[in-house]
């Protein structure tokens, strides 16, 4: 970072500028008025202000400057009247002590805050890792089950093939071998069916259908991330209207709701101005469609990129994978529904998905 | 006529059951298949020589439970255990209960045949020994208590003179009894007698 960059960086940092200005004013007043120890008080204000600056080194540096100025005053302007020299020294010493203590306590507190933030970040990462491990675990269980399932037809095929070979070597005629050969073909198909079934399960293009109450799904997901939203200081409001059940895979629909809700909460927790509200509303447009809306008061959608939001690997987040919305869309579409995003009337974004209501 | 040694197969998977049955026929022995342990237990006649191919994981009674049940009933039919997922614990359990072997699915035909032959031989040997034992028991059963005393003394290698002193009998009386008992148990020499007794003791009776 060059000196020029650094100064422009500092100038863009309001607390830094204000604290420097305050220090200058206090020094001017200190030079012209016989305030004694009272001059130290505004210096501590300047240090407190400097603690809000982005650069960590700034507050200690400003405190050092204040110290220098406090000492310098003695040399530059003689105390008026008949104040004894030791009283001046004590006054200045107290001032230096006040500035020093303020800096020390302020820096320590800022350190503690940073550490807490880092710990929270670590906990979040840990949760994410757990979720990933969970998916891997499920995949592992599937693989174990698959291995066991495939073992039976494989055992049959191996034995039958070797038996047929042995019979043929012993001079058996083709008609005698036919039942064995048919058995081999049949068991091979059985193995193929098992593999096909697993692939279908992993591709998730055929959800295991049950009757799902969307309102119940929304409530469950809200409970799931309740801590997260409260910690982020986000107010999640539910506006759940009575809706007909939809036909689909409950776990997958929970995944969609979780995804969209988490996105909304993240969008809102990124802003500094109130209100920080996420509204989840369900409604039924006619008897055969259920709609779920996630409205947030966040920064809104990236202009010009609305249509790319649901593409794989497209992300606006620094640590995003760009998979959440893509997965959500594939799930919703597999359920015969649609998902889209648009800007909210005043500010923020609205994500909406609809599902066909289904009975039976 | 003695019934022919049979290969019994118990597996809940129909395809595996058919495959093992087909493989068993390569041996040239009759094969009987059962889809569950319970079916086998009701149909099995302990007098029927043979061996058993047994799957471990089955609904209802498992292979381990069937093995235990047979052991509890004192039935010594040799068992070849087959399993799709044998961990060490199960393997140890199966083997300590006296299985011939544990084959992990999928296994080779030759492996299965080798162990089936061994199992059938084992069963034949067991049955032959049981027959000899029964014969020995029936011969010993006709001895009087006094003859039995002499028999036990002879079996430990004592001379007639020692036996006479021990039992307080005349040498002549010991010789008489000894000749009688040798005739009853149909042994021509002491060596033959001891061989017969050792055979009997070998089975832990």
Residues A303-330: tens digit of each pLDDT? 767 667 776 556 666 555 555 677 778 7
Measured between alpha carbons, how far is A340 from A191 in angstroms, rounded to an integer? 41
A151 with B105: CB under 8 angstroms? yes
Residue B127 distance to chain A (closest CA, Å): 30
Q: Report the share of chain A in percent with pLDDT over 90.
A: 19
**Residue of A156, A186, A187, A192 to mutate, testing the B interface (most B Cβ within 10 Å of its Cβ):** A156
- Specify the pLDDT at position A343: 85
Q: Do A152 and B109 touch (CB under 8 A)?
A: no
B93-121 residues labelled b (16+ CB within 10 A) or e (exposed): bbeeeebbbbbebbbebeebbebbeebbe
| Cis previous bond, B106, omega within 30 | yes
**Residue of B17, B21, B106, B107 to mutate, testing the A interface (most A Cβ within 10 Å of its Cβ):** B106
B203 with B129: CB under 8 angstroms? yes
For residue A175, how far is the Cα from the chain centroid? 67
How confident is residue A360, by pLDDT bands cut at 50, 70 and 90? Answer: very low
Nearest one of A33, A167, A50 to A102, comparing CA atoms:
A50
- Specify the pLDDT at position B18: 93
Residue A328 distance to chain B (closest CA, Å): 38
Per-residue DSSP letters for B55-91? ES--SSS-HHHHHHHHHHTT----EEEEESS--HHHH
- Token digits for B179? 């000749």
Spell out where chain A has E strands: 210-212, 235-240, 246-248, 277-284, 289-296, 338-343, 349-356
**Residue of B9, B13, B15, B111 to mutate, testing the A interface (most A Cβ within 10 Å of its Cβ):** B15
Cβ neighbors of A160 (< 8 A, separation 6 or more) are A180, A183, A184, A187, B18, B19, B22
Measured between alpha carbons, how far is A57 from B17 in angstroms, rounded to an integer? 79
Model pTM score? 0.50
By Cβ distance, the residue of A151, A166, A190 closest to B106 is A151
Measured between alpha carbons, how far is B74 from B52 in angstroms, rounded to an integer? 15
Measured between alpha carbons, how far is A185 from A179 in angstroms, rounded to an integer? 10
Q: What is the CA radius of gyration of chain B?
A: 23
A281 with A328: CB under 8 angstroms? no
By Cβ distance, the residue of A148, A156, A160 closest to B85 is A148
Element (H, E) at A259: helix A250-269
Q: Do A158 and B106 touch (CB under 8 A)?
A: yes
B187 with B173: CB under 8 angstroms? no
Q: What is the CA radius of gyration of chain A?
A: 35
Q: Say if residue A263's pLDDT is above 70.
A: yes
Q: Do B19 and A166 touch (CB under 8 A)?
A: no
A63 with A19: CB under 8 angstroms? no
Residue B26 distance to chain A (closest CA, Å): 7
Q: Say if residue B203's pLDDT is above 50.
A: no
SS3 A109: helix
Residue B76 distance to chain A (closest CA, Å): 27
B128-158 residues labelled b (16+ CB within 10 A) or e (exposed): eeeeebeebeeebeebeeebebbbebbeeeb
A189 with A223: CB under 8 angstroms? no
Query: How many contacts (CB atoms, under 8 Å) link A and B?
Result: 63
By Cβ distance, the residue of B15, B23, B108 closest to A152 is B15
Measured between alpha carbons, how far is A37 from A94 in angstroms, rounded to an integer? 7
Residue A39 carries which DSSP code?
G
Nearest one of B61, B80, B82 to B16, comparing CA atoms:
B82
By Cβ distance, the residue of A154, A157, A159 closest to B23 is A159
Q: Do B23 and A153 touch (CB under 8 A)?
A: no
- Specify the pLDDT at position B81: 95
Q: Do B16 and A186 touch (CB under 8 A)?
A: no
Measured between alpha carbons, how far is B78 from B102 in angstroms, rounded to an integer? 12
Q: Do B109 and A163 touch (CB under 8 A)?
A: yes
By Cβ distance, the residue of A151, A152, A159 closest to B109 is A159
How confident is residue A200, by pLDDT bands cut at 50, 70 and 90? Answer: low
Note whether A224 contacts B: Cβ–Cβ < 8 A: no
Longest dimension (CA), chain A: 132
Per-residue DSSP letters for B136-202? HHHHHHTS-HHHHHHHHHHHTT--HHHHHHHHT--HHHHHHHHHHHHHHTT-SSHHHHHHHHHHHHH
Q: Which domains does chain B have, with CATH numbers?
A: 6-130 (3.40.50.2300), 142-202 (1.10.10.10)
Highest mean pLDDT among A164-178, A270-284, A293-307, B115-129: B115-129
Q: How deeply is A6 buried, as exposed, middle or buried, from its count of CB atoms within 10 A (0-12, 13-18, 19+)? A: exposed
What residues 169-198 of chain A have any CB closer than 8 A to a CB of chain B?
A: 180, 183, 186-187, 190
- Specify the pLDDT at position B192: 84
B67 with B81: CB under 8 angstroms? yes
Question: Looking at beta carbons, which residues of chain A come within 8 Å of B109?
Answer: 158-159, 162-163, 166
Which of A109-118, B6-15, B117-126, B189-198 has the weakest average pLDDT?
B189-198
What residues 38-77 of chain B have any CB closer than 8 A to a CB of chain A?
A: none
Element (H, E) at A221: helix A214-224
Which of A193-197, A240-244, A349-353, B82-86 has the weakest average pLDDT?
A193-197
Q: Do B22 and A180 touch (CB under 8 A)?
A: yes
Residue predicted with more confidence, A208 or A163: A163
- Token digits for A172? 């058996």
Cβ neighbors of A124 (< 8 A, separation 6 or more) are none
Q: Report the share of chain B in percent with pLDDT over 70.
A: 97
Residues A85-118: tens digit of each pLDDT? 787 788 888 888 988 999 999 999 989 988 988 8
Residue B22 distance to chain A (closest CA, Å): 7
Cβ neighbors of A74 (< 8 A, separation 6 or more) are A88, A92
Can you state the angle between helices A14-32 and A58-76, rounded to 10 degrees? 10
B15 with B35: CB under 8 angstroms? no
Q: Report how far apart, in Å, the C-alpha atoms of B5 and of each of B28, B40, B45 are.
A: 10, 16, 12
Question: Looking at beta carbons, which residues of chain B come within 8 Å of A148?
Answer: 84-85
Average pLDDT, integer, range A128-147: 62
Q: Minimal Cα distance from A185: which residue of B?
A: B15
- Specify the pLDDT at position A78: 65
B109 with A180: CB under 8 angstroms? no
């Amino acid at each position: 970072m060059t000196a020029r960059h650094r100064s422009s960086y500092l100038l863009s940092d309001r607390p830094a500028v204000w604290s420097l200005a305050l220090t200058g004013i206090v020094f001017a007043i200190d030079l012209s008025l016989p305030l004694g120890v009272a001059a130290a008080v505004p210096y501590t204000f300047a240090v407190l202000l400097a603690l809000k600056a982005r650069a960590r080194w700034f507050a200690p540096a400003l405190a050092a400057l204040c110290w220098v100025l406090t000492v310098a005053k003695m040399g530059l302007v003689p105390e008026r009247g008949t104040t004894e020299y030791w009283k001046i020294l004590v006054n200045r010493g107290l001032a230096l002590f006040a500035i020093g203590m303020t800096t020390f306590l302020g820096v320590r507190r800022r350190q503690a805050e940073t550490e807490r933030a880092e710990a929270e970040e670590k906990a979040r990462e840990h949760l994410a890792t757990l979720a990933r491990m969970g998916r891997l675990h499920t995949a592992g269980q599937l693989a174990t089950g698959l291995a066991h399932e495939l073992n039976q037809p494989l055992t049959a095929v191996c034995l039958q093939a070797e038996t047929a070979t042995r019979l043929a070597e012993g001079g058996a005629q083709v008609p005698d071998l036919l039942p064995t050969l048919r058995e081999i073909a049949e068991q091979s198909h059985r193995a193929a069916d098992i593999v096909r079934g697993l692939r279908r399960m992993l591709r998730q293009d055929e959800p295991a259908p049950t009757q799902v109450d969307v309102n119940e799904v929304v409530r469950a997901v809200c409970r799931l991330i309740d801590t997260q939203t409260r910690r982020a200081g986000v107010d999640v409001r539910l506006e759940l209207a009575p809706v007909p059940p939809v036909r689909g895979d409950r776990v997958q629909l929970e995944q969609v709701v979780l995804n969209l809700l988490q996105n909304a909460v993240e969008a809102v927790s990124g802003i500094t101005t109130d209100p920080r509200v996420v509204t989840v509303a369900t409604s039924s447009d006619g008897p055969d469609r259920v709609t779920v809306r996630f409205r947030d008061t966040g920064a809104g959608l990236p202009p010009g990129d609305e249509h790319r939001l649901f593409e794989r690997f497209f992300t606006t987040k620094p640590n995003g994978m760009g998979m959440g919305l893509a997965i959500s869309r594939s799930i919703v579409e597999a359920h015969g529904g649609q998902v889209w995003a648009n800007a909210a009337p005043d500010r923020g974004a609205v994500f909406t998905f609809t599902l066909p209501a289904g009975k039976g | 006529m003695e019934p022919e040694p049979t290969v019994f197969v118990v597996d809940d998977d129909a395809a595996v059951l058919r495959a093992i049955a087909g493989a068993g026929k390569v041996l040239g022995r009759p094969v009987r298949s059962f889809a569950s342990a319970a079916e086998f237990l009701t149909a099995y006649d302990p007098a029927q020589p043979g061996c058993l191919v047994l799957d471990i994981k089955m609904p209802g009674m498992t292979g381990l439970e069937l093995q235990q049940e047979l052991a509890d009933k004192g039935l010594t039919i040799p068992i070849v255990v087959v399993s799709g997922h044998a961990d060490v614990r199960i393997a140890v359990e199966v083997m300590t209960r006296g299985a011939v072997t544990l084959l992990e699915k999928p296994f080779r035909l030759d492996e299965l045949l080798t162990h089936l032959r061994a199992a059938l031989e084992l069963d034949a040997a067991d049955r032959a020994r049981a027959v000899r034992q029964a014969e020995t028991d029936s011969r010993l059963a006709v001895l009087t208590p006094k003859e039995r005393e002499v028999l036990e003394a002879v079996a430990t290698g004592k001379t007639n003179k020692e036996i006479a002193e021990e039992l307080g009998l005349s040498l002549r009386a010991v010789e008489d009894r000894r000749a009688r008992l040798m005739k009853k148990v149909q042994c021509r020499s002491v060596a033959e007698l001891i061989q017969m007794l050792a055979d009997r003791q070998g089975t832990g009776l």
